[in-house]
Chain A
């Protein structure tokens, strides 16, 4: 019975794969071309890199909600119960040296990524990922201790960046729409949002590793 169900599933999946391939390979050209629209409006977006313009301006609302998704995942971890703190003293002797060497460079790389986002690939998420990796490295080297669940600092950092985004989104309602930047201030506001987000997202990502149950 179970074997029959499995083989039926495999057959159905193979059929789906074949249908998808036929559909994709025979697709006529799309009637709407958004790339042109992005290029036309890039000047009013406040940044010169088209992907950042879509991410923070044209579809900035998506980005706004996606930050909330990351916070939700962290809340899910808090709800399910935090893992116990790791045993100490088992670290590799090389790790602290490596961490002390690498972390300053990683912070530098993060700042560069944040700054570069305006005109070339980069931006808040990439910068935050590097920063979070630095925090995890420090944690593994036992230089950075785990965070207890009610530690105020990480919560403040995570909520702060998002609340800044929220405040800007709400304030711009006065300009006629959610996250509707006035073109002359768009660049500044986007930098402000991205800086806040870098801190918030970095701490959020790091918290998945560093938040540990209090020792009991």
Chain B
């Protein structure tokens, strides 16, 4: 392939290009630009996947300068899975959003989405701690802008709370980078991997603590989850789906990357440290599920379910040292949850739009007039509960396997009870949906939504189930990633 069409570079350039054009066109042609652009990005990921499958890992020197002077971009199996998930979900959500916003698109929705995707792709591909800071800000500010879309008081409050949380998170991260640069004179992740040893000075330990804590804040792991439910629950459905399915995964990805890469020596020197994210994750599963069970509004239920499901991602950390299973479980959970949560928010958006009520009780009777959306919601619920054959089932199976092998039975207990609790909040919605609404006499039957609204949700939910059956190529991709 000619260097001019380097798929790795275009994964970053293409979303920047169409986002800028959408900004220039002042909200006209947004859907067309987005669909063409994300379609192109998906082709880039597929081309890149071919390269990574044959070479293992692809590097690209931005500016042509080798490290430590320049910035190296890297694509390996782990980044590729995240890129694939991002473009796949984004393309489906763009189709949904085009239909969902057929009357009025919130201002700047399309350009912000493009910049958000550019930031995420740049984040997944960057191998430089300072450059990663810039990508974190790209993602964070674009996400805040999307939450503020519409400009009502509730949205602005959610956006402000989210902004302050995300800024403190990236501020802590940046301070850590400053300490790292002072300690080693470089911010290249690959060079730091060999420079940082278990005898690292105190400054490096503090840097690691600040950077990882900052990322936990951005990933909304309990007790830093406070900003997530209003932001994800209050935004328009396509935005909620984008944020819950993808954006929180970006900071998790970076946490995982730092843990396995530059800070591997530190986490190996003090294995007890890995219990901290795991304990927080376990608490998040229980607390998030409880709040989802008690939620009053449908989208808050789905948002609290995200708080709970993010907890699973952090259960893997004490198990990473014992074999490849835990990493596979984590990546599979991130992927399956990404698809299922996008499906769930999108289905909830349709239920709310058509039913006219944002309450959980508003879904009463939905089984009769929105069977496809409801089926998508249920299918996504299957993944969240971890029932076979879904991706969530396989992820939890691998997690339990790894926990038993590592002699950490408490993780098994948490994983299983989390599935049970997910069952309660999913069935709470389903049970209501099959009930006849009492208001059917005075309210005319709601209009059927556009087919695209329903079938995009179905496609995402089906993907989250099917990934459990076809996980082999996915797991093969990350097999090359060495913890």
Contacts and interface: CB of A to CB of B under 8 A. Distances in A.
The short answer to whether A and B are in direct contact, CB under 8 Å, is yes
Nearest to B202: A23
B183 interface: yes
Interface in A134-167: 149-150, 152, 155-156, 158-159, 162-163, 166
B422 interface: no
Contacts, number: 191
A174 B2 contact: yes
21 contacts: A24-B179, A30-B183, A37-B68, A58-B63, A58-B69, A59-B131, A61-B71, A62-B71, A65-B134, A79-B146, A79-B148, A79-B151, A80-B149, A159-B20, A163-B20, A166-B13, A170-B10, A173-B5, A178-B63, A178-B73, A180-B63
A71 interface: yes
A81 interface: yes
A175 B182 contact: no
Interface in A21-61: 22-24, 26-28, 30-34, 37-38, 41, 57-61
Interface string A117-128: 000000000000
A169 interface: yes
A75 B63 contact: no
A180 B64 contact: yes
Nearest to B141: A72
A76 B144 contact: yes
Contacts of A33: 185
Interface residues of A, number: 57
Most chain-B CB neighbours within 10 Å: which of A68, A71, A169? A68
A19 interface: yes
B186 interface: yes
B168 interface: no
A76 B201 CA distance: 40
Contacts of B450: none
Nearest to A182: B64
Given A76-B142, A79-B146, 7 more contacts: A28-B201, A32-B191, A41-B69, A79-B109, A155-B23, A173-B9, A177-B60
Contact of A68 (B3, B115, B202): B115
B61 interface: yes
B3 A174 contact: yes
In the A-B complex, the 6 residue pairs with the smallest Cβ-Cβ separation, listed nearest first, are: A76-B145, A180-B64, A81-B151, A32-B185, A30-B185, A61-B62
A208 to B, nearest CB: 14
A26 B179 CA distance: 12
Interface string B148-166: 1111000110010000000
B202 A69 contact: no
B419 to A, nearest CB: 34
Nearest to A150: B26
A71 B115 contact: yes
A170 B13 contact: yes
B65 interface: yes
B137 interface: yes
Interface in B63-117: 63-65, 68-71, 73, 106-109, 111-112, 115
Contact of A24 (B65, B112, B159, B182): B182
Contacts of B144: 76
